[in-house]
A = this chain, B = another copy of it.
Amino acid sequence: MKEELLTVLTVREAREQLAANLPAELRRSERKPLLQCLGRRLAEPVTARENVPGFARSTVDGYAVRAQDTFGASEGLPAFFTITGEILVGVVPEREIAPGEAMQIATGAMLPPGADAAVMVEYTEEAGSGCIEVLSPVGPGENILREDEDIRAGEEVFPVNHLLRSQDIGYLSALGEMELAVFVPVSVGIVSTGDELVDPTSKPRPGQVRDINSYALFAKTLELGGKPNIYGVVQDDPQLLREKLQEAYAENDLVVVSGGSSVGTRDHTAEIIASLGQPGVVFHGMAVRPGKPTLGGVVEKKPVFGLPGHPAAALVTFDLLASPLLRFGNFTELPEGTPPISAVISRSIGSVPGREEYIYVKLQRKEGKLLAEPILGKSGLLTPLVEADGLVKIPLESEGTAAGSDVDVYLFGSDYVL
């Protein structure tokens, strides 16, 4: 096969063609205890079953009153109230508030029936014999939370796919949602190919190098909430590769095979994918740099990606193809994700219209400005990968970006969507 004859798609086309062959949702769901749900995504929306706080409560230390009894009160002409009791937090008030009455109330304590506001203790003065003066009026609802003011029973509080952060876990505990329907981590079978590769635990002989992609993609899968499984290094042998791919395929939701960027190996990989089932290979290349020699396929509703051997390219193409599936189950209607950081690019970057480019950049603060320094270097170097803080995207039709321009930097570790 000559490269020119192979199907090279833009990233958008590649995703569309994959989506057309994938189920609408790649992930299964399960129910998990709330405390195990940090970093998971919701498989069902959460609808509040209760009001929060659940009862009207004071937000200040002071006095529960009928707001209308304070109208017109001032330091010169205070309103007088008879104190009829004290309400501590956690207990039910023993009596109602009648006109002209007030009850002492603590922050968080339950408002007594009849009261519709609280006066802060700072705006009152003791007036002797169980009375107080209120020096400033309050409106109805002031200094209190109504029964359903925070969350109303029946309200949807989080949609499907919401990524559960620490504050969300706290919020859901307030609602008594002790178990959630969340998506099961997508399992990713990771295969590396290449005659020069050895397992990282081995000492390479002259001419050999350690396999990097298995470990990098293992960790990347974990970062994205997936469940990685390493299948190790396969030499460039079609039969061995076929067996390994079948094994990974049977045991995972998604398979990535990296390396083998030579045309011969790509042909092997493509033929093996084609032989595993329908529709097989969907595209033979992507209009993206780095990452052109990327294969995309679907076999019986499961995706398989042939990623380039260079780690910088393997990680970018994993971000473009596997990452949306791990987080959102398909490519249709990808959310915005964490917004990129704005920075000034320190040098001009040329680009060829007709392909997307992703530039590894390092951020530096100089004179109060955030500078994005492109990390350029020879193909195959690893050091740029670890020096970088994120990626800058040069869109499909752009001819590049000039030094000094503002660029968007997708920060590694953030929940960005490319």
A332 within 8 A of partner (CB): no
Question: Beyond A92-B207, A413-B165, is A170–B219 a contact (Cβ under 8 Å)?
Answer: yes
Q: Which of A311-357 contact B (CB under 8 A)?
A: 311, 315, 336, 338-339, 341-342
Residues of B within 8 A of A53 (CB): 209, 380
Question: Beyond A212-B170, A215-B35, is A365–B379 a contact (Cβ under 8 Å)?
Answer: no
Taking a contact as CB atoms under 8 Å apart, the answer to whether B169 and A338 are in contact is no
Per-residue contact bits, chain A 387-418, to B (CB 8 Å; 1 contact, 0 not): 01000000000000000000000011111000
A2 within 8 A of partner (CB): no
Stretch with Cβ within 8 A of B (4 or more), from A18-26, A70-78, A143-151, A299-307: A143-151
- Pick the contact of A54 from B35, B209, B315 — CB < 8 Å? B209
> Chain copies in the assembly?
2
Q: Which of A171-211 contact B (CB under 8 A)?
A: 171-176, 178, 194-197, 200-201, 203-211
A166 within 8 A of partner (CB): yes
Taking a contact as CB atoms under 8 Å apart, the answer to whether B90 and A215 are in contact is no
Per-residue contact bits, chain A 51-85, to B (CB 8 Å; 1 contact, 0 not): 01111010111000000000000000000000000
Taking a contact as CB atoms under 8 Å apart, the answer to whether A207 and B169 are in contact is no
Residues of B within 8 A of A222 (CB): 38, 166
A238 within 8 A of partner (CB): no
- Pick the contact of A382 from B150, B261, B385, B386 — CB < 8 Å? B150
A43 within 8 A of partner (CB): no
Taking a contact as CB atoms under 8 Å apart, the answer to whether A380 and B108 are in contact is yes
A residues near B (Cβ < 8 Å) are: 34-35, 38, 52-55, 57, 59-61, 88-92, 106-110, 145, 149-151, 157-158, 165-176, 178, 194-197, 200-201, 203-220, 222-223, 261-262, 309, 311, 315, 336, 338-339, 341-342, 363, 365, 370, 378-383, 385-386, 388, 411-415
* 23 A–B contacts, CB within 8 A, in A order: A52-B382, A53-B380, A57-B380, A59-B380, A92-B207, A108-B380, A145-B378, A151-B383, A165-B413, A166-B220, A167-B311, A167-B385, A169-B216, A170-B217, A172-B215, A174-B209, A174-B210, A174-B212, A176-B201, A339-B341, A341-B342, A411-B414, A413-B415
Given contacts A52-B382, A92-B207, A169-B219, 15 further A-B contacts (CB under 8 A): A35-B215, A52-B209, A59-B380, A107-B261, A145-B380, A149-B378, A150-B382, A165-B412, A166-B222, A167-B219, A167-B315, A170-B212, A174-B210, A176-B203, A339-B341
